Each structure stands twice: as structure tokens, then as C-alpha cells.
Amino acid sequence: MKELSNKASALKLSSTLKVAEIASKLISEGVDIISFGPGEPDFPTPDNICDAAIQAINSGFTKYTNSSGITELRKAVCDKLKQDNNLDYTYEQIIISNGAKHSINNIFTALLNDSDEVLIPDPYWISYAEMVRLSGGVPVIMHTDEKNNFGLTSELLESYKTDKTKIIVLNSPNNPSGIIYNRSELELVADFAVKNDLYVISDEIYEKLTYDGKKCISIASLGNDIFQRTIVVNGFSKSYSMTGWRIGYSASNKKIAGVIANIQSHESSNPNSIAQMAALAALKGSRDTVFKMCSEFAKRRDYIYNRICGIRHVYAVKPQGAFYLFVNISELCGHKINGRYLENADSFAEELLREMHVAVVPCRDFGYDKHIRLSFATSMGVIREGLDRIEKFIASLE
């Protein structure tokens, strides 16, 4: 038979799969697993949002909508971007998609030609590089310095730039590190992008989950030149605990928005009509539940970070946002457990799961093979018990 698509066949299997496989086998054997894996809030979707969806169904709002999303929701997104981020868009510039992941994929499809390069600072969300490849582009991972809180510098940007560079991807707050870029870092990326005629994709999906009074600045707000060449991505999954509803959006200049609209009209028609009404209610309603969820995450962040600081041979940068702790376990590599050698985060995660029944995410596919990600989107009780087990595991290493 003829070969399958080269681009699709080149997609990598996620390094988290092995751990997931062992976890599901243990669960099927009745083992109680503590999981630090979840990439979604453990809170229910707020009632006012669910009610709006029920109302949409009851009123028959169950048919195709405009493929770029209903105008009311696109206008509400404009209001949000104005109010929260000081960004001026008209509704034609907003494309509502089936989650932020879909928005990002649409953007790469809209912008990339074969062998265009996309700069992605590490650590990075695993899907960026694969989506770039699917669109025919080349992901170029910029290796940042953990000692410098994974920060961005002019030297770093310059050292990865080639004449094929087309896009820089920013994700702040970052998955998996939780760092937030400060104004001066964003200013230098903006200058660099404008000077070199680059686009910026600013993935702001964790924007509402920040700690210690830290606020996210959208790079698009730093002046008209950078505004024109930035595509802002955001969504409802993380801020409103709506992961399953699948609503995200992009905001961009009219030319890019037009191309994304065309792609989406052929690819998936419209985002789910009921979920769009739910998202509208999220934007129009009170944000009390968002604040409550965020303050609970802040308590867990403090707890998990302090516990990790108290364990010898592991280290983490304190997250300023999102709900992950990115833990450096490099000092433990080379040690053994029951005669088995820990080579990297993959083997660390496998043995931790086998020995202590704790699931963590090994971060090879986030660009770091000696780091693990601990999600604190799980209850305090689970976090406490999981950390006790991790501490015991580390203490038992030979």
C-alpha cells in the first residue's frame, strides 16, 4: 500500500504515554494511584455557565452558527480584551474555535509555508512543536536558562534567528514552568519581532490564574507595530474550568483573521453552539468563581512549592501562574531504586509509579528530560499524600 502522510507519520508519540499506560494497568488492578498529571482545573464549571448551556438547548439553539462564532460572543471577547488587556479589536478580528489548541493549529496553518521556522522558548507546551510540523514548518526550540527563571534575552533571540524565522511563540503564564514574562522581556521580544518582521503568537490561556498579585501583560498591548503582528490566543478551559466544552479564540489583524476564518469554515464549521452560549455567560457573568478557584490554587502552589524546597536534590522555580510545578530532578539521575537505574525523568516517573503509585509527568516532550511536572489541579489531601510518597521514594534511592 502507498505510504501515509509524511507530515502526520512524523508526529511523535507523547513521552507521557508510558506512564499513562502503567497507571491505567495499575488502576485496572485496583491500585489507588495519586496523580499529579491533570492539565485541567479540578473545580466544576460554574453554575451560571451550565445554566446558560441548558437554556441554549431548551430554546433550540442547537443548529449551525456562523463558522467563526456567534457575533454576540465575538463582541463579548472584544470587551474582555479591551477591559483586561487594553487591546482594541472589532468582532471580525475574533475567531471562536474548538478550544485554544484548535485556534493555535489554525494560526500555524494560516501563517506557515514549508520550512518556515518557528521560535519556541523552552520549556514549552508539547503540542506547539507537533502542530508546527503538521503545518510544514520547522520548530526551533530556544534553550533558556533555568537559573535565569527561563527568561528571554536579546542574545538568546538573536542566536536562534535565521532568515527563515517567521513566528515566535510566547506562553505566559507558562505550561509547565508557571513563569510569567515581565514587561521588559516582552518589550525586547516586541522590538525583535518588529525589527525582523516576525509574527508573535501569544498564548494567554492561563492568564487568569496568577499569584502574589502578579498580572499578565499581553505583548500585543505594547504598541501598534507589535499589535498588528501578534495573534493573541485565549480560551475558557482553564480560567472557567471549561476544558470539556472546547471553546477558545484568536484575536489578530483582519487579514490573518480572514484566512483563519476561511480555514475553519472548511475544516470544522462552527464551534459547538451550546458551548458558545455557555462561554458568553462566562464572560458576561460574575468572576467570583474564577477568583475563588485562583485563591485555592495559590494556597496549593505555596504548599507544593515549599514541600519541594524541603526535599534534598530536587529544585523548582516558583510558579507565578498556571497550576504546575516544574521540578528539576537531574541530581537524582544516576541513582538506583531496587537495583534499577534512574537515567532520566522517564525512568524516574516509571519507578515512582511502580514503587509509590504516584503519577507525574516526565517532561522530555516539554524540552527537559530531567524534569517532571506536578500539577496542583488536585485536592490538598491528594497533594499532601503524593508529596509524602515522593519524599519517601527519593529518600530510598541508592
Contact positions vs ligand PLP (CB under 6 A): 39, 99-101, 125, 171, 175, 203, 205, 235, 237, 243, 248
CA dihedral (189, 195, 201, 207) positive or negative: positive
36 vs 393 by CB, closer to ligand PLP? 36
Q: Residue 276 Cβ, how far from ligand PLP at the closest point, in Å?
A: 14
Q: Least Å distance between CB 162 and ligand PLP?
A: 25
CB of 121 to ligand PLP, least distance (A): 12
* CB closer to ligand PLP out of 146 and 203: 203
Nearer to ligand PLP, 171 or 344 (CB): 171
Give least dist CB 86 to ligand PLP, A: 22
Cell of 288: 467570583
**Min. distance of Cβ 236 from ligand PLP in angstroms?**
7
Cβ atoms of 287 and 76 closer than 8 Å: no
Q: Which is nearer to ligand PLP, 234 or 289 (CB)?
A: 234
Provide the 10 A C-beta neighbour count for residue 262.
14
* Distance of alpha carbon 86 from alpha carbon 210, whole angstroms: 18
Q: Least separation, in Å, of the C-beta of 312 and ligand PLP?
A: 30
Q: How far is the CB of 174 from ligand PLP (least distance, A)?
A: 7
Contacts of 29 (CB under 8 A, 6+ apart): none
Which CB sits closer to ligand PLP, 39 or 136? Answer: 39
Least distance CB 391 / ligand PLP (angstroms): 27
CB of residue 101 to ligand PLP, shortest distance in Å: 3
**Whose grid coordinates read 511563540?**
169
Q: Which is nearer to ligand PLP, 39 or 285 (CB)?
A: 39
**In three state form, how does the secondary structure of the chain look?**
CCCCCHHHHCCCCCCCHHHHHHHHHHHHCCCCCEECCCCCCCCCCCHHHHHHHHHHHHCCCCCCCCCCCCHHHHHHHHHHHHHHHCCCCCHHHEEEECCHHHHHHHHHHHHCCCCCEEEEECCCCCHHHHHHHHCCCEEEEECCCHHHCCCCCHHHHHHHCCCCEEEEEEECCCCCCCCCCCHHHHHHHHHHHHHCCCEEEEECCCCCCECCCCCCCCHHHHCHHHHHHEEEEEECCCCCCCHHHCCEEEECCHHHHHHHHHHHHHHCCCCCHHHHHHHHHHHHCCCHHHHHHHHHHHHHHHHHHHHHHCCCCCEECCCCECCEEEEECHHHCCCEECCEECCCHHHHHHHHHHHHCEECEECHHHCCCCEEEEECCCCHHHHHHHHHHHHHHHHCCC
Closer CB to ligand PLP, 100 or 293, in the complex: 100
Report the amino acid identity of residue 284. Answer: K
Residue 248 or 362 with smaller CB distance to ligand PLP:
248
Of 134 and 342, nearer to ligand PLP (C-beta) is 134
Closest residue to bound ligand PLP by CB: 99
Smallest distance from ligand PLP to CB 338, Å: 34
Among residues 166 and 246, whose Cβ is nearest to ligand PLP? 246
